[in-house]
Amino acid sequence: MKRSLIATIALLIWTAAASAQVNDSTWSSSDITTLKRWVDSAPLDALPRMSSTSLDRAVVEGDQQSIDDEATMLALRLARAHLLGSATQAERAGWNIVDSDREIALEPMLERAVEDDTLDTFFALLRPAHADYSALKTALANETDADRRKAIARNMERWRWMPRSLGSDYVLVNPARFEADLWRDGAKAETWRVIVGKKSTPTPVFNAMIEGVILNPWWEIPASIVRESVGALVRRNPALARERGYVWSNGQYRQRPGPNNALGQMKLVMPNRFSVYMHDTPNKNLFEEEVRAFSHGCIRTGDAIGYAATLLEGVKTREDVDSIVASGKTTTVRIARPVPVYITYFTAVRDSAGAVEILPDIYNRDGAIRANLPD
């Protein structure tokens, strides 16, 4: 069992145990020492060092109730920072991945940790469990270049905006890396090249569920693209428009399935409010480009049929998929179990050797996030 999965299970067990009825706990001097050690070490996780002045004052005055109150408030602030991040709403603008960790009840967990003298475990289990976060944390401790340190710190913060548990199987798309990774049982199983949105039409950050695959899809042409190009083509050269498969149907422009279809031969069923999908493309040559930012926001996927066949394992064989594609018939196939997909944006990533690579910030998003750095 992989480390991230073990950590996630441990947090779930801890949360369940802490939800039981417990009595108010008293903070001992040992607990205070542990808490202050975590406060002081927060910058190692690219978090700001929080003030302990009120707690220190309560300790000097010797009022146990004040000590308990101040220690609890400080510990909860630090716990929420480790679990959810320290960024403001303005810094998180455009990050639309739903973080289920917000539903975790930290108060009973903290109370149980104080009672059982397990504060170290409490805080450790709140860090992002993904191996990429661990690699960034190690890199931050050893990095001396100021710009690289800032990039690492900002991306550690982004990991805190992700759910700790991404699922046993999931797809993680990183437009900054132009790649989509399929993770299974806590390990990266396969990677596909992707083409993402141009700087003028960037791919948004969001999460969805992959429910199925459409083979030989129709393209429902967005109004913005009709205004930009398709509408003018239909007016100026209707014969060429028909040749390319453009038709007017049910009050909108559509494109028939076929070799010229903008979606290629595959589109994922992944409902989302952005109408952004992973799909094939007829322009396969663009996958050879190093910087692959060419789309209107959707995610064009390399070896799209192979990707579809991988997601459909247990439902359709590769031969079945190829046969449906060859038929030219529009066919929707549901996958055996819906798979979460996370469209992210990380500009500091773990490479194949476990080191950290800094990627170009193609959408100029990094500058909006503070970089909390250790001294």
The 3 state secondary structure assigned to 217-247 is CCEECCHHHHHHHHHHHHHHCHHHHHHCCEE
CATH class of 166-218+259-343: mainly beta
Which residues are the active-site residues?
A: 279, 298
Query: Which of these ranges, 62-71, 171-180, 256-265, 282-291, has the smallest mean pLDDT?
Result: 256-265
Range 4-30 burial, b when 16+ CB lie within 10 A, else e: beebbeebeebbeebeeeeeebebeee
State the Cα–Cα distance between residues 262 and 152, nearest whole angstrom. 37
* Res 246: pLDDT: 86
State the Cα–Cα distance between residues 261 and 168, nearest whole angstrom. 34
CB atoms within 10 A of CB 363: 20
Q: Is the pLDDT of residue 126 over 70?
A: yes
Q: Is the pLDDT of residue 205 over 80?
A: yes
Domain ranges of the chain: 3-159, 166-218+259-343, 219-256
* Res 255: pLDDT: 92
User: For 285-312, what is the mean pLDDT?
Assistant: 97
Q: Is the pLDDT of residue 59 over 70?
A: yes
* Res 99: pLDDT: 96
State the Cα–Cα distance between residues 265 and 203, nearest whole angstrom. 21
Distances (CA, A) of 142 to 80, 220, 241: 26, 50, 58
* Res 231: pLDDT: 80
* Res 266: pLDDT: 98
Q: Where does 321-372 show beta strands of DSSP type E?
A: 331-343, 348-350, 356-358
* Res 1: pLDDT: 44
Q: Is the pLDDT of residue 252 over 50?
A: yes
State the Cα–Cα distance between residues 112 and 102, nearest whole angstrom. 19
Q: Is the pLDDT of residue 22 over 50?
A: no
Position 273 confidence tier, pLDDT thresholds 50, 70, 90 = very high
State the Cα–Cα distance between residues 347 and 327, nearest whole angstrom. 41
For 307-320, the pLDDT digits (tens) are: 999 999 999 999 99
Q: Is the pLDDT of residue 34 over 80?
A: yes
* pTM exceeds cut of 0.85: yes
Q: Is the pLDDT of residue 227 over 90?
A: no
Place of tokens 């989509």: 180
Position 221 confidence tier, pLDDT thresholds 50, 70, 90 = confident
CB atoms within 10 A of CB 1: 8
Tell which wins on pLDDT, 270 or 225: 270
